[in-house]
Amino acid sequence: MTVLESLKLATEYLEKHSIENARLNSELLLSDVLNCKRFELYTNFDKPLKESEIQKFREYLKRRAIGEPVQYITGKANFYGLEFIVTPDVLIPRPETELLVEEILNCYDHNLQLKILDICSGSGNIGITLAKFFENSIIHCIDVSEKAIEIGKLNAQRLNFKNVAFHKIDILTQKPIEKNYDLIVSNPPYVSESKKQSLQKEIRLFEPHIALFVDDELKFYRRIIELTDEFLVSGGKLFFEIDHNQAMNVKSLMIVKNFTNIKIKKDLADLNRIISGVKSI
Ligand SMILES: C[S@@+](CC[C@H](N)C(=O)[O-])C[C@H]1O[C@@H](n2cnc3c(N)ncnc32)[C@H](O)[C@@H]1O
């Protein structure tokens, strides 16, 4: 069977299992099996696949057909131009979160020596990307999940960024180990438990619930904003990713704590997604 033939069969198979973007999914999985770039499939349409490659592709397709996300099958996800290792212990980095990083990158001179805290760091996608652009800065990433911390460390090591460190901390009951951060960023769990059933099965059945769901949508924002008293320098900035329904509530929490210059940015779906502010006292 050739590359082209296997792609056609795979696409039909995934379509039958109601997988959206079946062709794209097939290409992503096959390029991982063949260890090549997706566009290289197009220049190798007539190349015959080895039996072992067909076997591996078949296994991948079976997993995709029951809803497992491509990124967990291949073990990789792209975020802001970097490739991150992902396992089902960490959330798959989202394009919305790239906007959060972009917002931060637009706010600072990249040569500054900042002390940055990434709360709820997961795979380390935010902290590590900031480590790349802010070479002279120090980034501390914290997460409650031991396994997420391991993945974060692995990603930093693989991508060779030495200015980022990971610590296991439960932000709801513990505090960061250092003070005086110039910038605090967080993409905390913010999906209400009550919305669980309405989510795609890719998310509901495969992504870590600890990364997504909360009984109280404002719990993490309240706690992190509270902690800025002690851990964010005066004039320091706070950046959050938010559920679009919570923009005004998070803004109110920030106003109460005397944050100024509060900005809310929309995502590509035109929904409020990023909020930031400056600690004024
Ligand atoms: C929405 S994910 C964000 C992951 C990553 N920063 C990203 O943007 O893709 C939320 C993260 O919060 C972590 N988390 C959940 N409860 C926590 C807690 N009490 N303290 C610290 N981290 C927590 C989860 O393990 C998960 O990695």
Helix and strand numbers, DSSP H then E, in the chain = 12, 11
Measure CA 150 to chain center. 15
Question: How far is the centre of ligand 1, averaged over its atoms, from the C-alpha of 224 (Å)?
Answer: 13
- pLDDT mean across residues, the chain: 97
- In this structure, the answer to whether residues 114 and 253 fall within a common structural domain is yes
pLDDT tens readout for residues 188-211 = 999 999 999 999 999 999 999 999
What mean pLDDT comes out for the span 175-186?
97
Q: Which residue has the tokens 């030495």?
A: 162
CATH at residue 150? 3.40.50.150
What DSSP element (H or E) covers 71?
helix 70-74
Question: Residue 152: CB within 6 Å of ligand 1?
Answer: no
Model confidence at 281: pLDDT above 80 = no
3-state helix, strand, coil in the chain (%, to 5): 45, 20, 30
CA of 158 to the centre of ligand 1 (A): 21
Q: Is 165 found in the same domain as 223?
A: yes
Q: Is the CB of 172 under 6 A from ligand 1?
A: yes
Q: In this structure, are 149 and 271 located in the same domain?
A: yes
211 lines ligand 1 (CB under 6 A): yes
List all residues 6 or more positions away from 98 whose beta carbon is below 8 Å from its beta carbon. 79, 80
Q: Please choose, from the candidates 30, 34, 1, the residue with its C-alpha nearest in 3D space to the C-alpha of residue 14.
A: 30
To test the ligand 1 pocket, which listed residue (91, 173, 242) has its Cβ within 8 A of the most ligand atoms? 91
170 lines ligand 1 (CB under 6 A): yes
Q: What is the mean pLDDT of residues 106-110?
A: 97
Please state the domain count of the chain: 2
pLDDT at position 239 over 80: yes
Structure tokens at 45: 């349409």
d(CA 217, CA 190): 5
CB 2 within 8 A of CB 46: yes
Give the per-residue pLDDT at 131: 98
Burial tier of 262 (Cβ tally within 10 Å: 0-12, 13-18, 19+): middle
pLDDT tens digits along 247-272: 999 999 999 999 999 999 999 999 99
pLDDT for the residue numbered 95:
96
Q: What residues contact residue 80 under an 8 Å CB cut-off, 6+ apart?
A: 98, 101, 102, 125, 129
29 and 127 inside one domain: no
pLDDT at 20: 95
Does 170 lie in the same domain as 233? yes
**Pairing of β 115-119 and β 191-192:** unpaired
pLDDT of 231:
98
Do 131 and 253 lie in one domain? The reply is: yes
pTM: 0.96
Same domain? For 103 and 204 the reply is yes
Same domain, 22 and 135: no
| Nearest-angstrom CA–CA distance, 250 and 228 | 14
| pLDDT tens string 48-86 | 999 999 999 999 999 999 999 999 999 999 999 999 999
Same domain, 178 and 213: yes
Q: Is 26 in the pocket of ligand 1 (CB under 6 A)?
A: no
Distances (CA, A) of 86 to 56, 241, 244: 19, 20, 26
CB contact set of 163 (below 8 Å; sequence gap of 6+): 131, 134, 135, 136, 137, 138, 139
* Beta strands per DSSP E along the chain: 76-79, 82-85, 115-119, 138-143, 164-168, 181-186, 191-192, 213-214, 232-241, 259-266, 272-279
The gap from C-alpha 111 to its chain's centroid, in whole angstroms, comes to 25
Contact 127, 118 (CB under 8 A): yes
Residues 46 and 127 in one domain: no
Query: Do 144 and 40 belong together in one domain?
Result: no
Q: Is residue 73 part of a domain?
A: no
80 in a domain, yes or no? no
Best residue among 144, 213, 240 to mutate for probing ligand 1, ranked by most atoms within 8 Å of CB: 144
> Is residue 117 lining ligand 1, measured as CB closer than 6 Å?
no
Whole-number pLDDT of residue 59: 98
Q: Is residue 82 in a domain?
A: no
Q: How far is the CA of 171 from the centre of ligand 1 (A)?
A: 10
Whether 74 maps to a domain, the answer reads: no
122 lines ligand 1 (CB under 6 A): yes
**Is 116 a pocket residue for ligand 1 (Cβ < 6 Å)?**
no
User: How many other CB atoms sit within 10 Å of the CB of residue 281?
Assistant: 9
Domain assignment of residue 186, yes or no: yes
CB of residue 125 inside a 6 A radius of ligand 1: yes
Is 79 inside a domain boundary? no
Statement to judge: residues 28 and 100 lie in one domain: no
Range of the structural domain that residue 47 is part of = 3-66
Q: Domain boundary at 13, 33, 66, which?
A: 66
Which of 33, 66, 99 is the endpoint of a domain?
A: 66
Q: Are 250 and 185 in contact (CB under 8 A)?
A: no
